[in-house]
Amino acid sequence: MATVVKPPGAPAVKTGKLRAWFYKRFPIEEFISDQLVGYFAPKNFNFWYFFGVLSVVALALQLFTGIFLTMFYKPGEATSFDSVEYIMREVDWGWLIRYLHSTGASAFFVIVYLHMYRALLYGSYKTPRELLWVIGMLVYLTLMAEAFLGYVLPWGNMSYWAAQVIVNLFGTIPGIGPGLVEWIRGDYGIADATLNRFFALHVVAVPLGLLLLVLLHLVALRRTGSSNPDGIEIKERLGPDGKPLDGIPFHPYYTVKDTVGVGVFFVLLAIVVFFVPTLGGYFLEHANFEQADPFSTPPEITPSWYFTPYYAILRAVPNQRLGALLLLLAVLAYLFLPWLDRSPVKSMRYRGWLSRAFLALFTVSFLGLMYAGLNPPQGVYVMIGRICTVGYFLYFVLMPFYTNPRFDRVKPVPERLRYHAHH
């Protein structure tokens, strides 16, 4: 039976008997009409607006490839490393599943960082999207935990020493620190017990948490509607049919547009997976091709690239406890953005040069921290790490001042979206 989905305003879908049977027993029709066709999104989404959908794609990719890896991986000090090589060499197509998972992890962070940056560009965290932003930050924190746990599982030498360093960070907590570290490890050093519980967390507990948080994130989005590059609330200008004048139905316009985005993502993913899966040691570190060795520290212990900005902040101060505290503050700082930002205007397009300058400072600092964190804490990298730490925190700490319209000369915000037809 043919079904024609007409643009909104047209009569409801034509249904066959089987479809009607389902519709009576399950709210599919309402879902399509309310959440897809009936969900109006701003029509001026640009490049930065692909990354929400791509985040979901990346999550699905990791879940799917991860489940298959779990079918062959054997957690345990004596078996983990060998089982990964077993997957790479002896399981039919195991190498592809493994590379998809390792590349997918890095891809996930590229996507998530670009997704978060969009919010900084267009004020997507401002009213009424504060909760949406907070939930998103919880997704980010959970994702970082998931990535850390997963990285330990191959039980390579970097896995071992990264676990050592990060778990030791908890020892800086006053009073309960040392006991806490032993409790996390389940042993006197990073050992089999640690590996096994990290496996359970990485495969079951944290993914469930991630799924729940992503669902909450989407539910919150549905209530507030999406932001847009002009920072205008499209719901404030409704047409005679009650639909936003500057909105278009998510389906089919954004389903179709996002398909292109997904295609481009897979092209880039495939290029890495098939031609440069280690990406010169950034996606699969060299030291991790050696088994964990408690007696041999790799010449440079660096975490994966997506953690290095915070690692650089940790190393910026010579005091371990203070460094750990700064790291924690750096990661939590994002949570406060909706309340630090005092600008009456959402989008950078209409803010003054002061706001833009500080965003540029943050961008350069974040990238500089990432660069410094990837290198040994010597020479010029120390200097870069320290300067960029200052730049990073200034973005947050001074925000109430430089976003104040008394200092930041904002431009008038248009009433309707700026949109140029895509022909």
Partner 1 sequence: MTASGVIDADALADESRRHFLLAATVATGATGVALAAAPFIASWNPSERTRALGAPTEFNVAKLEPGALAQTLWRKQPIYIVRRTPEMIASLANHDSRLKDPQSRDSEQPAYAVNATRSRNPEYLVLIGTCTHLGCLPKPRFDLARAELGADWPGGFACPCHGSRFDLAGRVFDGSPASLNLRVPPYSFADAHKLVIGVDEQTGAA
Partner 2 sequence: MLIIDSPSESRAERAPVSGWRRAAVLLLVATIVPCAVLAEEAAKEPAASAFGADWESWHPGNSVADIASLQRGARDFLAYCNGCHALKYERYARLGQDLSIPPDLLQKDLVPSGRKASDYITTPMPPADAEAWFGKPPPDLSLIARSRGTDYLYQYLMTFYVDPTRPTGTNNLRLDATAMPAVLSSLEGLKRAVFKNVQTRGDSGVVTQRVFDHFEMLAPGQLNHDEYAGMVRDIVNFLDYVGEPQQAHRRALGVWVVLFLLVFTWLAWLLKKEYWKDVS
What are the E-state strand segments in 18-74? 40-42
**Is 97 one of the binding residues for partner 1 (CB under 8 A)?**
yes
User: For residue 112, which of 85, 142, 91 has the smallest C-alpha distance?
Assistant: 142
Binding to partner 2 (CB under 8 A) within 67-106 occurs at: 82, 85, 88-89, 95-96
Residue 92 binds which entry of partner 2, partner 1, none, CB below 5-8 Å type-dependent:
partner 1
Binding to partner 1 (CB under 8 A) within 248-267 occurs at: 259
Closer CB to partner 1, 12 or 256, in the complex = 256
**Is 377 one of the binding residues for partner 2 (CB under 8 A)?**
no
Secondary element (H or E) of residue 44: none
Query: Burial, 402: exposed, middle or buried (Cβ in 10 Å; 0-12, 13-18, 19+)?
Result: buried
**Is 329 one of the binding residues for partner 2 (CB under 8 A)?**
no
Q: Are 309 and 374 in contact (CB under 8 A)?
A: no
Query: DSSP letter at 347?
Result: S
Show the CA angle centred on residue 311, arms to residues 310 and 314, nearest 5°: 90
Please report where in the chains the tokens 């345990």 appear, as a residue. Answer: 76
Closer CB to partner 2, 224 or 278, in the complex = 278
Least CB distance from residue 68 to partner 1, whole Å?
Answer: 6
Q: Are 186 and 193 in contact (CB under 8 A)?
A: yes
Least CB distance from residue 421 to partner 2, whole Å?
Answer: 5
Query: How long is the chain?
Result: 423
Residue 29 binds which entry of partner 1, partner 2, none, CB below 5-8 Å type-dependent:
none
With CB under 8 A as the contact rule, the residue among 32, 91, 181, 325 that binds partner 1 is: 91
Binding map of partner 2 across residues 40-59, x = CB under 8 A, - = no contact: ---x----------------
DSSP one-letter string for 211-232: HHHHHHHHHHHHHH----TT--
Q: How many residues bind partner 1 (CB under 8 A)?
A: 14
Residue 85 binds which entry of partner 2, partner 1, none, CB below 5-8 Å type-dependent:
partner 2
128 preceded by a cis bond (ω within 30 of 0)? yes
Q: How many residues bind partner 2 (CB under 8 A)?
A: 36
DSSP one-letter string for 88-139: HHTSTTHHHHHHHHHHHHHHHHHHHHHHHHHHHHHTTTSTT-HHHHHHHHHH
With CB under 8 A as the contact rule, the residue among 14, 21, 26, 90 that binds partner 1 is: 90
**Is 86 one of the binding residues for partner 1 (CB under 8 A)?**
yes
With CB under 8 A as the contact rule, the residue among 24, 89, 422, 423 that binds partner 1 is: 89
> Three-class SS of residue 254?
helix
Query: DSSP letter at 16?
Result: -
Q: Are 340 and 396 in contact (CB under 8 A)?
A: yes
**Piece of 63-71, 104-112, 231-239, 291-299 that binds partner 1 (CB under 8 A):** 63-71
Residue 382 binds which entry of partner 2, partner 1, none, CB below 5-8 Å type-dependent:
none
If one counts every other C-beta atom within 10 angstroms of the C-beta of residue 399, the result is: 21
Binding to partner 1 (CB under 8 A) within 165-224 occurs at: none
Least CB distance from residue 395 to partner 2, whole Å?
Answer: 34
Judged by the rule CB under 8 A, the positions of this chain that interact with partner 1 are 64, 68, 71-72, 86, 89-94, 96-97, 259
Judged by the rule CB under 8 A, the positions of this chain that interact with partner 2 are 7, 43, 82, 85, 88-89, 95-96, 248, 252-253, 256-257, 259-260, 262-264, 266-267, 270-271, 273-275, 277-278, 286-290, 419, 421-423
